[in-house]
Amino acid sequence: MPDIARLFRSVYRIRRVEEEVARVYPTDKIKSPIHLSIGQEAVSVGVCEALRHDDVVFGTYRSHATYLAKGGDLKKMVAELYGKATGCAKGKGGSMHLVDAAAGVMGASAVVGTTIPHAVGYAWVQKMRRSGRLVVSFFGDGAADEGAWHESLNFAALKRVPLIFICENNGYSIHSRQLDRQKQANLSQRAAGYGMPSERLDGSDTVLVYEKVKAAAETLRAGAEGPLFFECLTYRWREHVGPNEDYAAGYRKRGELEPWLERDDVERLGTRLPDAERQRIVDEVEEEIREAFAFAEASPIPGDGELWTDVFGAEGGR
């Protein structure tokens, strides 16, 4: 049985961090475009709580939740959004390129689907080294339109790598509804066609996601061949990019959101805890968030010399 207090702390922490990001964003202190995971927290938390510390995850540009759920440093994340030198990518990557290798967060990318083959390659190395480490690849339903998705699933199945594919299917690729892009909307069925165990889950249920991924991880560690695929049905509450709602844009109606609000796991998990314990967690998280944003505010911007570091090329990257 999962630790409900841990799950609540994680989903609540992610929700409140992103709400604070949304509050600060209009001030222009945050120098990066933001893709919020509000409403989708249960997927990342359920998955990452089922992993070991030395397992690794590869994310998408909507990766605040994945980064935090896997143990990424909050202060460094907020500083990265502010474009500060103390950020997890030295202020050079922003919201869409979060990384914390020490926590097993191997990086995200602004380009749809590009981290999927990276995850497959990393998992293949773990298999060859017999490291016992597992790899998780997070992506959205839009990534299934990319050639790299098909090539990666096929290669991963052929090589039987210790990898778990997690599709966060929120029904939209930017403003394009899934059924307008894909004749077959059930991505778990498509993945099964590549020869891997696949299942569709309610991505609003943190405990369910945890239990399914925990069982899958234990199976892989016991010697079963990978990969496995989970399609987690979820819904983003805010606009594709930015801090606001976008239901007035016309491509979707707010009525779609109502069932997801009713199943909000931040609320559901909170009600499963004694009032005093829930309040203690809330207070601790709120203080941590205040400290993280204060850290980002006080941090320096990168120096001019950073223009020539961490780049490829001759003569120091110039």
Longest CA–CA separation in the chain, Å: 61
Contacts of residue 257, Cβ cutoff 8 Å, sequence gap at least 6: 235, 237, 247
Q: pTM here?
A: 0.95
Per-residue pLDDT of the chain (318 residues; tens, 9 = 90+): 799 999 999 999 999 999 999 999 999 999 999 999 999 999 999 999 999 999 999 999 999 999 999 999 999 999 999 999 999 999 999 999 999 999 999 989 999 999 999 999 999 999 999 999 999 999 999 999 999 999 999 999 999 999 999 999 999 998 988 888 888 889 999 999 999 999 999 999 999 999 999 999 999 999 999 999 999 999 999 999 999 999 999 999 999 999 999 999 999 999 999 999 999 999 999 999 999 999 999 999 999 888 888 887 655 544
**Cβ count near 273 (within 10 Å):** 17
What's the confidence (pLDDT) of residue 171?
Answer: 93
Distance CA 313, CA 76 (A): 27
Q: What are phi and psi of 58, to 5 degrees?
A: -120, 130
| Ranges of each domain in the chain | 4-302
Contacts of residue 77, Cβ cutoff 8 Å, sequence gap at least 6: 17, 64, 67, 68, 87, 88, 98, 292
Distance CA 157, CA 9 (A): 35
Does the domain made of 4-302 have the CATH classification 3.40.50.970? yes
What's the confidence (pLDDT) of residue 314?
Answer: 54
